[in-house]
Every structure is written in structure tokens, then in C-alpha cells.
Amino acid sequence: MNHFSDLEKAISKYLIDICIDLKRKTLSLSPAGHIKYKMRDSLIYRINAIQYHYFLLKKAKQNGLEILSNEFPNNDPIKHINIVKEVYYLFDDLIFNIASMFDYLGNFIGYIYLGESKIKIKWNGIVSSCRDKSSNIENNKLKDFIIEANKTFVDHLHGYRSDIIHEKMDSSESIKSFKMNIPGPIEHEFIIKIPKILKSKLKYLKANNDDDITIIACMLVERTLDITMKMLEIISEEIIPINKKNIEILVAENRKKNKDS
């Protein structure tokens, strides 16, 4: 949890620093309602939603284990099925939020590099722009990173989201087991396996057959935040020095005005 929180704080700081500057050329003292701040706040909101659904999923899984353990050995199979469904509902929501966040990020990058007319370019649009040699995105380091992140992660995730929205639900099996300790308490284990379609699409995660859904959820959230962090870091490497220079110019101009007056 602390790792996710630290990443979120670092991402938020990058977003705040980047938004100081409007066109990467002049210092922007924009009104609070400016579109860039709305885009920034939307990104932070979606990142918070990703973390919220991850921890909600973990809690639902833990609550399910406690319910089944307390009712052992007379478990109601319907109750077991409903617990598993609840966890998969939350996992779907997690996927939807992650995919949505990348579209927000594409819009944000489009705005920075392509202008306000591209604030609805979404992730696939920004990937296409990065592949276009005539694009106004001149940051080759950023372009290379976006293309690679899309190839290894985001494109697969968007494809999976499309499958479960338009075609069919995705689930797998669950396992409830126990271990007798003599003397000692009974140890219960409750595994909800990774959804089958997702596992086939995200082979690079190297999931084992018995990997629990909470493990894969954690990996997806961490990968998402890491990619976001790296992209904003690359953008900041270009923009922050310009911001600092613009601030120095503004301060110098104000000093000159005060001196002349």
C-alpha cells in the first residue's frame, strides 16, 4: 500500500509541475478553471480510483475467506459462488479504470504536444502520433517509451477490456482448502484464479496456474503506475527546465519594473 501511495504522490507532483507551463515556451498563469487543470485533476482522480478498486478487491477476497472459514465445514455453495462473483465484479472495474486512465493520459500528452484541439485524442491516438514521423511530438525518448509500453502492456489491456465489454464475461475457478494442525487451529486457504482470457492476453506477466487474482491485480496496478510515472518523468525532463527558466525571466522582469518605478 505504501508503495502505491508513494507512486501516486510522485505522479501528482509531476502533474502539478508540468501544468505550471501551458505551451512549453512561456510561463502560464492560467485561471483555476483552465482545461489543463481539469485534465490533471481527472488523471489524479482515475489513479485514485484504480487504487480504491484494488484495495476493495483485496478486502472482498479477505472477507470471503473469513465467511467461508467461519462456516466450515457447512459451506453454502451458493454463498461461495456469490463471493467469487463479487471479486470478479471488482476486478472488471479495476480493468476499466486502468484502461480509462491510459486514455486520460493520452489526452493529456496530446494537449501538451499537439495542442488543445487534441484533448480527446485518447491513448490509441497518441500512439499513432508517436509512430508518425511527421508528428509534432519531437520528444523521441517519450515516443519510444509510449510505443514500447503500448506493445507490451496497454494494447493487450485495451483488447481485453473490449472483449469483456462487448463479448463475454471472463472468470476462472476458485479453490477452498484447509489444513489440519494437531494441535492447533485449522488453516484455511481461498484462491480465486486469474481470469482465463486475461491470462492468455498478458502472457508476459508469467502467471502460474495457481496464481490468485489479488496477485495479478497488484501486478497490473503497479505496472500501470510505473508506466505513468516514467512517461511524466520523461515529459518533466523536457518541460521543468523551461519552467524554471521562464520563472527566472519573470522574476527578473518584475525586479526591473519595480526598480524603474
Position with higher pLDDT, 27 vs 73:
73
Question: Helix or strand or coil: residue 27?
Answer: strand
C-alpha cell at 89: 465484479
- DSSP string spanning 179-236? E--SSSPPEEEEEEBPPHHHHHH-GGG---TT-BHHHHHHHHHHHHHHHHHHHHHHHH
pLDDT given at position 254: 76
Average pLDDT (169-176) is: 63
- Please give the Cα distance from 124 to 109 (Å, whole number): 12
- H helices of 19-139, where? 35-70, 77-114, 122-131
Residue 59 CB coordination number (10 Å): 12
CA-derived radius of gyration, the chain: 23
Cell of 85: 462473483
Distance CA 237, CA 63 (A): 44
Identify the bridge partners of residue 224 per DSSP, sorted by sequence position. Answer: none
Check residue 255 and give its pLDDT.
Answer: 81
Cis amide prior to 77 (ω within 30 degrees): no
Residue matched to cell numbers 477476497: 61
Q: What share of the chain is helix, strand, coil (3-state, %, to 5)?
A: 70, 5, 20
pTM confidence score: 0.81
* pLDDT per position as a tens digit, 121-147: 999 999 999 999 888 888 899 999 999
* Residue in 184, 31, 14 with CA at minimum distance from that of residue 112: 14
Residue positions counted in the chain: 261
| Residue-wise pLDDT tens digits, 190-249 | 777 778 777 777 766 565 555 788 888 998 999 999 999 999 999 988 877 776 776 677
Q: Which residue has the higher pLDDT, 14 or 182?
A: 14
Tell me which amino acid residue 217 is.
A
Separation of alpha carbons 39 and 28, rounded Å: 16
CA distance 120 to 126: 10
Mean per-residue pLDDT of the chain? 81
SS3 29: coil
32-46 pLDDT tens trace: 677 888 888 899 999
Task: Name the amino acid, one letter, at 189.
Answer: E
Least-confidence region, from 30-34, 140-144, 149-153, 154-158 = 30-34
- pLDDT range class, residue 28, cuts 50, 70, 90: low
Distance, first Cα to last Cα, the chain:
55
Containing 143, the helix (H) or strand (E) segment is: helix 140-149
